[in-house]
Amino acid sequence: MWWSLLRLAIVGAAAALFTYGLDRTAQVVARRLAAPGSGTGVPALVHRCRRPVLALTACLLLAAAQPWVDAPPAARDGLRHLAVVLAIASGGWLGARLVALLVDGAVRLAVHRRDPAWAGRARTQASLLGRIGQAIVAVATLGAVLMTFPTVRGVGTSLLASAGLVGVAAGVAAQSTLANVFAGVQMAFGDLARIGDVVVVAGEWGTVEEITLTAVVIATWDQRRLVMPMSYFVGRPFENWSRRSSRITGTALLHLDHHAPVGLLREEFDDFLAKSELWDGEGSALQVVDTTPTTIVVRALATAANADDAFELRCRLREHLVGHLRDHHPYALPRLPVGEAPVRHPDAPGGPPERGRGRP
């Protein structure tokens, strides 16, 4: 009895020492490869995968050392089964870390690209693929662990033999989730929207902050978060202001009197844009786009590098032009004509008596 426990302790200590030595060796190699100018991703790989690799190594050593453990058959089988389960779990842990490492590497490569649209598309696709990969690893790990139990294996066989009704019920229950997952794949690889895109969804303006397997998180201008199902973006129209380029044209409409000096206003408009740091210099225009019986509609257009700058430029432009007209050309601002209301003659059928003046 004591000799059996001693052999078990020796096997455990040997596995622990071997694992510790492997860990120290990996750290030394990672430090040497992390020297300035090395430019390799091995240190990050070692740092992210060190713990799952150590756990997997220890479990494999324990499983391999079972023949040297002097124990009853039932205890030996239980210990071997425990080592196998832990090894499978450690392998799943390692797989999830590798998927996350690949996603991080793809995101870093995308950030270094000068094309913002390409970078956003790569980040979105890498993030979505990473989530799908981790979900697959988790499901595969759980399935492998369950299949090590003979009872579960028998239940699985019986379920496969009569999976018709169960499959239909599961399909109906997961229809919404699967639809969102497939919509997410279509959204990412169809380049409908990317992380960082400026969108208008359900009348709300915001930026795509996160894309998960089943939902899109949109950060609005007032710090709110809209969580929209992925299927919404595939089944309904929405505005994407930065799909191909982040440049946006800002518009400011002014309702002015017919006597407004449009030429002078255009000169003031050009002077303001020339001094504004928000204007990117690509395009501008000031035009009369409509008339009404009492006013004209003047539209001022100016381009900006992104949606935030365009919104700020619109506000400043509108404020400046209205202030300029108020200070220098007040007659150009719209006026509401006021006059006496028409008076119905008292002899008219149903007419009220005439007010304000006597009858001739």
DSSP per residue over 171-234, as a string?
A: HHHTHHHHHHHHHHHHHHHTTS--TT-EEEETTEEEEEEEE-SSEEEEEETTS-EEEEEHHHHH
Q: Which two tokens stand for residue 208?
A: 């795509």
Q: What's the whole-model pTM score?
A: 0.50
pLDDT at residue number 126: 76
> Can you tell me whether residue 261 is helix, strand or coil?
coil
Judge whether 54 and 23 are in contact, CB under 8 Å. Answer: yes
* Listed residue (238, 129, 229, 116) closest to 180, CA to CA: 229
Taking 50 as the pLDDT cut, the residues of the chain under it are 36-40, 156, 159-174, 354-360
Under 8 Å between Cβ of 40 and 96: no
- In this structure, the strands spanning 279-291 and 296-304 are antiparallel
pLDDT at position 172, please?
46
Burial of 307 (0-12, 13-18, 19+ CB in 10 A): buried
CA 112-116-120 angle, to 5 degrees, is: 90
